[in-house]
A and B are shown apart, each in its own frame.
Chain A
Amino acid sequence: MKMSGRCAATVLACAVGIGIEAAAVSGVLAQDASFLPRFPILLSELTAPAIDRGIHEFDPVRAPRTEGTTLQIAADGEPFLRGSIIVKFRPGTSPDAQRAMLSQVNGALTPPLSYANFDIVSIPDTADPEATARRLEAQPDVDYAQARYRIYPQFVPNDPMYARQWNYPALDMERAWDINPGATASVTVAVLDSGVAYRPALMRYNARFPFRATPGGPVLPALGLIDVPFAAAPDLGGADRFVAPRDFIWETTTPMDLDGHGTHVAGTIGQLTNNSIGVAGMAFNVRLMPVKVIAGDWDFILGSPLQGTDDVVARGVRYAVDNGAQVLNMSIGRTGPPAPVVQEAITYAVSRGAFVVVAAGNEFEIGNPVERLAEFAPLIQGMVAVAAIGRDRRRAFYSNTGPYIELAAPGGNMRAGGSEGGILQQTYDFDFVDTFLGSAAQYRAPRFDVFAYQYFQGTSMAAPHVSGFAALLIQQGITKPAAIEAAMTRYATDLGAAGRDNEFGHGLINPRASLRGLGLAK
């Protein structure tokens, strides 16, 4: 793969250009973003009401979506971005010394980023980001250097209400809610994900590039200027539920979900409950902070300036905790080499009093590689890595195993339990979103104002159970991250081998027991 020389002049334009060229659409060059209107453009904050199309349980099975199969990966085949790396210099390193070190790798600092204690260094497109990072990391004044690895949602979607939500009875949530009925608005849970369907809007995008959605599939044309309707997910509640929204993919304050993953995850954390509508959520009174740090397929198609890479996630983590989030849900992840920039950000978040929940990964059947965003959970008291179980209380077929697994929660297993073995939540009706999966003739602008109840499975679905649980514990009085983790692990229901094990960690979360805490004698 190669990059245009023009693209190398700007990191943002490069991020777009890499994928488009590699989509095997010859002749398309990356464009300099500075010559274009900045998209998306908010056309209207008022749109038609959201459309709820009910439950989707008999839709055809969709291709599993694990790491490496999103459009971005289909485009360039690499798990990281080229043309730039992440570097953290030791405090006190002079600018001259920084420049001298960077000159050895033909690198240059880019403008400072918000919510980042690291730098993005541009490097030649032809340079191997990993090798370049290793060379810099060998310098005494460099804390760490790493490639900008892409990060993905941790679920395996399968297209298709409370009686269908086996996951809550499995956690004895009815009795847990007797003790703590869904926390209160004093607790904020950040959803670091693909965004959330949290508000209505009519947005104008410029889909500038033709692309191929699947290897060997038809080249889909550039749609040009398109007006895309958004609506708030009806069962997530009104605007007062959402605080400090932020989009680190489009660098805006409107983290619209162009994917559906974040909306589904947010539902498990805080879907309105006992409202005679749809389904339930774990902590149904909390405030939600949508922080968009990963890009969905439509973000890619519409030319988002950034992708979900380690540095973007690290900034999102810092943003969330600096803006008052007490719980951070990260149903995202990646494999590959370690991610020190994310580890440092999570360490910072926990030191500021936030509890961090990370999905343990869905790659068990494809080699069970180490999930890099979850692996440091045992090192940070106040962060947990969550494995997934199915309705049968066995490890889900996809759920990673390893020494970093600390807890298990329902993530769904449709292989063992059919479609109803997944986790049901409201998100988009993908008939109106995944228009790029059909023929070129069917390809059209998406609609993000049509909703359905969908079964998903993945550690992405397990993690928000733990995040909602953390919110309940905070409301109940256990406010320190390390104590929250201790309350969770202490009362977890042991599954698998006796004691802590690599499949379930300390076991299945037991919210009621943790919320009850200790009596004098029992």
Chain B
Amino acid sequence: MAATTASAQTRDFMVRGFGDVGSTTFTAAEQSFAAVLGSATGMVFGGGVEVVLPVRVFANVRASRFQETGQRVFLFEGEQFDLGIPTTITVTPVQLTGGYRFGASDRFVPYGGAGVGWYGFKEASQFSTDAENVDNRFTGFHILGGAEIGLRRWLALAGELQWSTVPDAFGDNPNSVSHEFNESNLGGTTFRFKIVVGM
């Protein structure tokens, strides 16, 4: 059997690139995202670069993007009134992750890690001025775990689950849904599939 990236990584220094697609749920601000976007869950696309050291330690940097368009709302006594004014939420995390790859199998490599991220958050509504729109970046932390399956020496497929916390990202503006729901954390859970290329 030909050596795969998975098996090779346990022996060699590797530099790899990856792309991913997944579903993210803003569990820490679920009501707020659901109110404005209709759901707190959406697609997220990303990619990055990863370095694997011979001692099974890896480090990667990943950038991703979540973008959905919903509408501005008014909330009153538990009831939501949709206002029909389009508003687009864009979340762009840049994450630095370090972790360990367990060597149970050459073809199947579970891994886990943690890291720090810088989360871009933009909210732009129709009819709003620049000052009324939001464009901020916040620092957060995350942990993740997954498993990688080697398909070729240079190609692997992985499934990964991540939990993140991004405290104090919003909720301070009294004229915001997040303030209404007392939600301030941009974090949540993300499940994604990764395609890893490199050796």
Note whether A and B form a binding pair: yes
Residues of A in contact with B (beta carbons under 8 Å apart): 175, 178-179, 476-480, 482-483, 486-487, 490-491, 513-522
Q: Which of B79, B81, B83, B171 lies in contact with A516, CB distance below 8 A?
A: B83
Q: Determine the distance from Cα of A486 to Cα of B76 in the docked complex, in whole angstroms.
A: 7
Shortest B41–chain A CB gap in Å is 15
Contact status B74-A483, CB under 8 Å: yes
Q: Which residues of B contact A514 (CB under 8 A)?
A: 74
Contact status A518-B74, CB under 8 Å: yes
Contact status B84-A477, CB under 8 Å: yes
Contact status A491-B175, CB under 8 Å: yes
Q: Which residues of B contact A517 (CB under 8 A)?
A: 72-74, 81, 83, 85
Shortest B145–chain A CB gap in Å is 29
14 contacts between A and B (CB under 8 A): A477-B74, A478-B83, A482-B77, A483-B81, A486-B76, A490-B175, A516-B127, A516-B132, A517-B72, A517-B74, A518-B75, A520-B35, A520-B177, A522-B134
Q: Which residues of B contact A516 (CB under 8 A)?
A: 72, 83, 85, 125, 127-128, 132
Contact status A520-B123, CB under 8 Å: yes
Shortest A333–chain B CB gap in Å is 28
Q: Determine the distance from Cα of A100 to Cα of B189 in the docked complex, in whole angstroms.
A: 75
Contact status B82-A519, CB under 8 Å: no
Q: Determine the distance from Cα of A179 to Cα of B125 in the docked complex, in whole angstroms.
A: 11
Contact status B173-A477, CB under 8 Å: no
> From DSSP, what is the main secondary structure of chain A's interface residues?
helix
Q: Which of A178, A476, A480 lies in contact with B83, CB distance below 8 A?
A: A476
Q: Which of B33, B84, B171, B173 lies in contact with A476, CB distance below 8 A?
A: B84
Contact status B36-A519, CB under 8 Å: yes
Q: Determine the distance from Cα of A178 to Cα of B171 in the docked complex, in whole angstroms.
A: 27
Contact status A522-B133, CB under 8 Å: yes
Contact status B76-A482, CB under 8 Å: yes
Q: Does B95 contact A (CB under 8 A)?
A: no
Q: Which residues of A contact B128 (CB under 8 A)?
A: 516
Shortest B198–chain A CB gap in Å is 37
Contacts A179-B127, A478-B81 hold; do A521 and B72 have CB atoms under 8 A apart?
A: no
Q: Which residues of B contact A521 (CB under 8 A)?
A: 121, 123, 134, 169-171, 173, 176, 178
Contact status B81-A479, CB under 8 Å: yes
Residue of A nearest to B127 (CB): A179
Contacts A478-B74, A482-B76, A487-B74 hold; do A519 and B123 have CB atoms under 8 A apart?
A: yes
Residue of B nearest to A485 (CB): B76
Q: Which of A175, A179, A477, A520 lies in contact with B82, CB distance below 8 A?
A: A477
Q: Which residues of A contact B127 (CB under 8 A)?
A: 175, 178-179, 516
Q: Determine the distance from Cα of A478 to Cα of B176 in the docked complex, in whole angstroms.
A: 16
Interface string of B164-185 (1 = CB under 8 A from A): 0000011101011110100000
Q: Determine the distance from Cα of A522 to Cα of B36 in the docked complex, in whole angstroms.
A: 12
Q: Does B87 contact A (CB under 8 A)?
A: yes
Q: Determine the distance from Cα of A513 to Cα of B127 in the docked complex, in whole angstroms.
A: 11
Interface centre among A477, A480, A487, A514 (most CB of B within 10 A): A477
Q: Determine the distance from Cα of A515 to Cα of B87 in the docked complex, in whole angstroms.
A: 14
